[in-house]
Amino acid sequence: MSESVKGIVIKEASTSKILIVYHSGSGSTKTICEVLKTRLSKYYIIDMYNLFHIDNNILNNYDLIVFGFPTYHCQHQNQ
């Protein structure tokens, strides 16, 4: 079984683990990542961390890593 969310087809549950890494200066990107996490949690195992609070050693534990960053002055934030 699968579901289409705004044209994106999400396939039924698997054991895939997805990591969402975000940076959010004023909170908008975090909010979007939280919505993404909530929606995808129905199908996948999702963990979500702030870029500055992540242990790089866990990156190999995931099948897919999603990055969420705002655009500031036509680039990602330099921090």
Which lies closer to ligand FMN via its Cβ, residue 33 or residue 46? 33
| Footprint of ligand FMN on 11-50 (CB under 6 A) | 24-29
- CA 56 vs. chain centroid, Å, equals 16
Select from 12-20, 50-58, 59-67, 70-78 the region that touches ligand FMN (CB under 6 A). Answer: 70-78
Interface with ligand FMN, residue 70, by CB under 6 A: yes
Q: What is the DSSP secondary-structure string of 63-76?
A: SEEEEE---BTTB-
Half-sphere exposure of 25 (CA within 13 A, CB side): 8
The residue ranges that bind ligand FMN (CB under 6 A) are: 24-29, 70-74
